[in-house]
Structure 1
C-alpha cells in the first residue's frame, strides 16, 4: 500500500494552469496533562516501498502546489503521500521564492475521499503490532494537518469534488477553502465505527449552533454551495474558474517585510475577482436554515445520545426529517456515537495542538476496538455493502466508563510530537468565511430599529462578499423579531 520519489524534480499537475495558514499566537493549553510542549524536529521522510508519484509537486512563479495523485482511489491519503508532503512544506516554509501553497486532487472527482481505511482495517487484524502501525499512520496524518493549520504562509485548498475524512483534514485548517459545484463534504466516520478526527474536535463544535454535532453524528453530506453556507468552505467558485485563478495567484508578489495577515488579505481580494456569484436560492436554497435549522439545534443540544434520540422521537415540526435521522443514527456504531458526542462537547475547549494530540489517543483506542474493522469491512469492502454488526450492539451497553476511557491519558505515554509550536483556540483566519451566527447576534443586540442596519453593517465589513447577505438575512429571520415600537429583538 504504502516507493520511491525524486525530491529533486517538480512534476506537472494534471490541471496545470489550474493553486495557508496564519502563523498564530501561542495560546495556553487548557489541560494540565498537555502543558509540556511536544515538538519534534524530525521531519518524516519516505520509506522503502512507498509508491511513486502518488503526490505531484509543481512550481508556478510564487505558487507551490501539492496535488494528491491517486484518482482511481479518489486520492485517498496514505502514509506514502504524507511522507512526501512533509519535506516539501518544510522546504517551502523557508524559501523566499514560495509565496503560497495550493492543495488539490488529481481528476475531477475528489480532493481526497479520506484515509486509506481499508488498508488500516486489514492491518489491525494482525493484532497489536498492526494496530500500533495504524495508530502511527494517524499520528503522521495529524502532524501533517497541524502543520497546515499553523503554516506561516497562505494555504489554499480546492475542495473540488469529494472531500471527506482525511481530505477534510488537509483542507479545513487552511485559511482559504474553495468549494465548487462538484464539492461533496462529509465526515462519515461513525458509519465505519470510528470518530470524526483530523481536527473535527476543533472545527465541528465551533460551527453555528448544533450543526457541527449534527454533521458529526449523522455524517450528513453537504453539496456545492451548502459547504459555504455551513462555514466549511470560505469561498464558492465554479470549477471552470480555478485554472485562471491559480495563474493569477501565482503572479502575486509580496515584499519581504509584509506580514502574513496582509498577504492573506491580498490573496482573498484576488480570489474574489474570479467569483461568478452563487446559485440562485430558488435553485439551491440553504438547507440547514429556517425551521429545520431550529429543529437541528433543538434535537442535538443534549449531552447524551439517548436524549438526542428522545428529542428526535418527539419532533413534530419536521417529522420526516426526524424519522430519517433516527434511522441513520440507529445504523451507526453505538460506541462511535457516544464517543463522538463526548468529543464534540470536550473539543470546544481544546486548542488546535491539543486537538490533534487528543485525537491521536482516541484513534489508538478505536484501532483496538472491534467496530472499526467491522465497520470498514461492512461498508467499504463487502459487495454489496451490508449493515455492520456492532459490539456492543446497543447504546445501553456502552457505559459512561467506556466512553471516558477513550479520553484518558495513559500514564507515562508520550504525547504526539508536532512539527510546529503554533497553537490557538480559535482560527485566526475565521473571518475569511461567512460571518458566524454568534457574530451576527452580537451586532443584532446593539439596539437597532430594524434588520436593515445589521445587514448593511455586515455587507460593508465583508466587502459585499458572496453569501454574506444570504447568511445574515437567514439568521435574522430565524432569530430576531421586529415588534412594533420595540425595535430589533434577538430571540
Structure 2
C-alpha cells in the first residue's frame, strides 16, 4: 500500500512556533546530587551522578543541565563508561559523555500522563539545544547509549564510539517509539538501516556504529582522557567560524586514533549480502509488507526467521507508528521532528502498550513478554496510527529555544561518506573508465585519510556497482 500524504497538524502554526519558550529550571524538590558541578582549570564540570539507574536521564537532570547550556560555556561529563560533555572556557568547545538507557517510568492515570508528557517536553527541548548549538559538541559514546543517551549523543557533530559502545533504540519493545530526534537521524542513515534499527531494536557494538553512520569517529577508550584534556586546551580565535572550529576538533580527534579493528576481526555487520537483504525486506511502507518480505526471503533465511521472531514480540501499534514516523521524518526539519515527536509521545502516554511494555520488560523480575492491546497488526487500523500524529487537545505545542533549523545535518562532512555521496560520484564518473580502486583512493583522499572510509566505500562498491568496459556503473 502506498504511503499516505504527510499528516499535518493545525496546531503547528507560525504563531505558536514563534512563542518564546521557558528554559527548564531546577525545582526545590529535585535531588541535589544527581548532577555534580565543579570547576577545574577554569572549566565548569558537570557530572551525571545517577549510577543506580545507569545515569538515565530524568527531569531533574535536564533542569540542571539546560541552564548551563544556555550560558554557552562549561564542561559536562558523566560517570565512567557512560557517555560526556564539556567545553573550553570562553565557550569555544563542548564535549559530552552521554548517559545510558531509560528516561521515565510511566504512571497510570491522567496525572501520570501529564508528568510524562512534561518530561518529554523538557528532554526534547534539551536535545534541540544540542542539535542547534553554536559550538562544536563532542559526544563520547563510551558505553551504553540508549534512550536519553541517544538524544544527548546523536545531535552532536562529533560522535565518538569506542570498543565499549553499545547503541540501540529499544523503544518498540516497551510499547513506545524511537524518539529523542530519531525521526530526523534514523531516516537519513544509508538505505533501510534506520528502519531496521528502529523496528527490531538491533544493537550495534563498537566500530559497527561508525560503519552504520551512528558514530562519526572511533577511538579506543584508553585514549579518551587524553583526548578530553587536549580538547580542553584548544583555543579558538574570536573571529573563527563554527566550520573552522569543527575542522580543528576533527583534526585533533584524528591525532588520537589507534586504528580500527581489522575486517577479519570485525567485518561490517550491516554490510555485504546482509545489508542487501535488509534493504530488500525493509523498503516497504507498511509493516505487513515487511513481514511478508521476510517470510519470502530466500538468501538469508535464518536471519529473516529470527527477525520475524523479534518483530512478532514487539508492540503492533509501536511498529506501525514507528514506520510511519520514519517515512514522514525524511522530510521533517530538526525542529519539526522534535515538535512532532512530542505529539506522538503524548499520545503514547495515553496508550496501554507503554505502561504494559515498561512493566513487562523493565519492572517485572524476570522480564516477561508484554500483552499488547491490540495484539496483532491487523487489529491496528490506519486511523489509529494517524491519530498519533495529532497533538491531544490538552497538549500545547513544544516550544524550542533556538530558531535555527535545518533539514540536513550541517556537519555531515566529518562522518564517513554516505551511499548517496558515493552514488553521485559514480554517476558523475560513469563512462570515464574509473575503477573501484581509484574510487576508494579518491574518497580516502577527499576525507583526509579518515579511518573507516576505505572499508565503507569498498563495501558499498561491492554491493552497488558493476564493472563494465567503460568503467563502474551504479546498479
The answer to whether the 8 A contact 2:56-2:100 is kept is yes
Structure 2 residue 25 is matched with structure 1 residue 45:
yes
Give the deviation of 1:103 after TM superposition.
Answer: 1.5
Q: CA deviation at 1:52?
A: 1.9
2: CA distance, partners of 1:320 / 1:395: 23
Structure 2 residue aligned with 1:345: 327
Q: Which residue of 1 aligns with 2:462?
A: 477
Please give the alpha-carbon distance, in whole angstroms, between the structure 1 residues aligned to 2:43 and 2:467: 49
1:367 to 1:410, Cα distance in 2 relative to 1, 3 A: closer
- Residue 40 of structure 1, CA deviation: 2.8
Question: Which secondary structure does the structure 2 equivalent of 1:86 belong to?
Answer: helix
Show the 5 A alignment for 1:188-207.
188-207=170-189
CA contact (8 A) 2:347 2:391 kept: no
What is the deviation of 1:39? 4.6
The aligned residue for residue 311 of structure 1 is: 293
Aligned length: 450
C-alpha displacement of 1:319: 0.3
| Alignment partners' CA distance in 1, 2:43 and 2:329 | 34
- 1:34 shift after superposition: 3.2
CA contact (8 A) 1:214 1:220 kept: yes
Quick one: distance in 2 between partners of 1:199 and 1:232?
13
Which structure 2 segments of 5+ residues have no match? Answer: 1-7, 75-87
Distance in 1, Cα, partners of 2:347 & 2:280? 31
In 2, the alpha carbon distance for the partners of 1:242 and 1:389 equals 43
Structure 2 partner of 1:79: 59
Contact 1:68 1:112 in 2 (8 A): no
Whether 2:27 is the aligned partner of 1:34: answer: no
Aligned counterparts of 1:438 and 1:31: Cα–Cα separation in 2? 31
1:373 alignment partner in structure 2: 355
> Higher relative CO (CA 8 A, sep ≥ 6), structure 1 or 2?
1
Superposed, which structure 2 residues align to 1:117-132 within 5 Å?
A: 117=104, 119=105, 121=106, 123=107, 125=108, 127-132=109-114
> CA shift at 1:38, angstroms?
3.7
> Deviations along 1:357-400, whole A, 9 cap, x unmatched?
00000000000000000000000111111000000000000000
Aligned match for 1:240, one of 222, 226, 237: 222
Listed one character per residue, the Cα deviations across residues 13-54 of structure 1 (whole Å, up to 9, x for unaligned) are xxxxxxxxxxxxxxxxx9875351345342111112211221
How far apart are 1:409 and its partner, in Å?
Answer: 4.2
TM-score (normalizing by structure 1)? 0.89
Map of 1:70 onto structure 2: 50
- Conserved? CA contact 1:64–1:98, under 8 Å: no
Q: CA RMSD in A?
A: 1.7
Q: CA deviation at 1:410?
A: 5.1
Structure-to-structure mapping, 1:55-454, within 5 angstroms: 55-61=35-41, 64-92=44-72, 97-104=90-97, 111-115=99-103, 117=104, 119=105, 121=106, 123=107, 125=108, 127-409=109-391, 414-446=396-428, 447=430, 448-449=432-433, 450-454=435-439
CA distance in 2, matches of 1:445, 1:31: 39
Find the residue that maps to 1:156 and give its secondary structure. Answer: strand
Q: Show structure 1 runs of 5+ residues with no match.
A: 1-29, 106-110
Aligned residue in 1 for 2:82: none
Q: Distance in 2 between matches of 1:473 and 1:64?
A: 43
Q: 1:409 to 1:79 in 2, by over 3 A?
A: closer
The CA distance in 1 between the partners of 2:362 and 2:392, in whole Å, is 32
- Give the structure 2 partner of residue 490 of structure 1: 474
* Contact kept in structure 2, 1:65 and 1:103, CA below 8 Å: no
Q: Report the CA distance between 1:57 and its aligned residue.
A: 3.5
Pick closer, same or farther for the CA change 1:151–1:480 going to 2, 3 Å: same
Which of 459, 467, 475 is matched with 2:444 structurally?
Answer: 459
What whole-Å deviation, never above 9, does each CA across 1:220-259 have from its counterpart, x for those lacking one? 0000000000100011000000000111111110111111
Give distance in 2, aligned partners of 1:234 and 1:88: 25
Within 1, Cα distance between the matches of 2:42 and 2:185?
30
Query: In the superposition, relative to structure 1, how do residues 397 and 454 fare at CA in structure 2: closer, same or farther (>3 Å)?
Result: same
C-alpha offsets along residues 273-302 of structure 1, whole Å, 9 cap, x if unaligned? 000000111111100001100000000000
Counterpart contact for 2:24–2:66, Cα < 8 Å: yes
**Match of 1:368, SS?**
coil
1:54 alignment partner, one of 34, 40, 44: 34
